[in-house]
Structure 1
């Protein structure tokens, strides 16, 4: 059967195809058999199992090249733009993508955002100290600042793990002491040059 990919969630590894028969078919990422990553709008060929789910999914041969070329052009343009990014550019990108747990992030994106948080924390702490605020007050504001950065930090960390071909669920190791060691190693690793289920390389 033929159809169009209408949605794919990399976080849960599931998607939906609108079949040419007018029906929608859900599928698991393991049934995606094409060498390209799933993307909305792709025309696909697929079979349907007894549970009315799409299986053995391939991008239609005539549609594969245009989709792949368009995706590559957009990605290449984004990489060229990011070559000129500085501390604040990476920070703004991470804040804009505060709830984006898909895709990939290069080392610069993750570590510049981490550096910004350290600098802003030191600046605010120093300013409050000069103004004579009590330790309890400084701790309260520091807690609010950490809470503000929590979600975008987790999202950036997940994307950084994706870039070295690791599942974002490994970020849960940050809540353990010994788990911080492998997380540190993975976040300083070079970008994996191969495409994976989370997209093209981040650099």
Structure 2
């Protein structure tokens, strides 16, 4: 199928495609098969699996044609080269093609940076529940970074939720059932946001597993890594989180 990317978030690695039949499909970064990052306005070819999930997204070849077409100067240069000496063709065309592709890559990079800056500007206005909802939406996304505010607001909400479930369980004589259910439901988002927080300081998300080892691991992860200021520039796990 062919379509156009209407929106893509680097932070959450999710986006929306509008197909030629005007149907909209959401997709995750794992379905993207190109080295170049997806961006709004791109024309793409994609497949739909049996569950109507987008898979195998590629840039539509027609979307790249303008970037690799030689300029009028290149056409004239190539014509003269053919008339004078056939061996000069590659010499005259290749530098122009490389320059054109480099210019296109620069445009895409600039657009991606602008999109990320707009995302950060929106997140600067987030309330506690906005951060919580972001974490819940990204419960199976273990890529990207999370600033301290995102992590600690989620942990605060998690603590409040656990306390409320304990109180309700005691009030209605349900024991710890509500608390255990809430803990299981929120466990995956909690692990995901912890991995994002570790990525923000350029640490592997696998360090979350230290929490399962000893109390020392809990102290290291919680009271050292999680309170540390994130990298202010792009690191191995993505662009800056604020």
Paired positions, count: 152
TM-score computed with the length of structure 2 as normaliser: 0.57
In structure 1, C-alpha distance between the alignment counterparts of 2:160 and 2:186, rounded to whole Å: 13
Does the C-alpha gap of structure 1 residues 61 and 172 become closer, same or farther in structure 2, counting only changes over 3 Å?
same
* Residue 129 (structure 1) shift: 2.1
Q: Is contact 2:169–2:176 with CA below 8 Å preserved after alignment?
A: no
* Residue 191 (structure 1) shift: 1.5
* Residue 121 (structure 1) shift: 1.3
Match of 2:236 in 1: 197
* Residue 17 (structure 1) shift: 5.2
**Higher RCO structure (Cα 8 Å, ≥6 apart):** 1
Indicate yes or no: 2:152 matched with 1:115. no
Q: CA RMSD in A?
A: 2.4
* Residue 140 (structure 1) shift: 2.3
Indicate yes or no: 2:142 matched with 1:104. no
In our comparison, the structure showing a higher alpha carbon Rg is 2
Match of 1:68 in 2: 109
3-state DSSP of counterpart to 1:166: coil
Match of 1:160 in 2: 197
* Residue 194 (structure 1) shift: 1.8
Match of 1:182 in 2: 220
Match of 1:77 in 2: 118
Q: Is contact 2:138–2:192 with CA below 8 Å preserved after alignment?
A: yes
Q: Give unpaired runs (5+ residues) of structure 2.
A: 1-12, 14-31, 39-57, 65-100
More helix by share: 2
* Residue 68 (structure 1) shift: 1.6
3-state DSSP of counterpart to 1:179: helix
Does the C-alpha gap of structure 1 residues 84 and 130 become closer, same or farther in structure 2, counting only changes over 3 Å?
same
Does the C-alpha gap of structure 1 residues 121 and 65 become closer, same or farther in structure 2, counting only changes over 3 Å?
same
Deviations 1:55-114 (A, max 9, x none): xxxxx5223321221111111111111111111111100001111100100001111011
In structure 1, C-alpha distance between the alignment counterparts of 2:135 and 2:182, rounded to whole Å: 15
Q: Is contact 2:169–2:178 with CA below 8 Å preserved after alignment?
A: no
Q: Give unpaired runs (5+ residues) of structure 1.
A: 1-9, 19-37, 44-59
In structure 2, C-alpha distance between the alignment counterparts of 1:17 and 1:90, rounded to whole Å: 30
In structure 2, C-alpha distance between the alignment counterparts of 1:116 and 1:175, rounded to whole Å: 22
Indicate yes or no: 2:167 matched with 1:126. yes
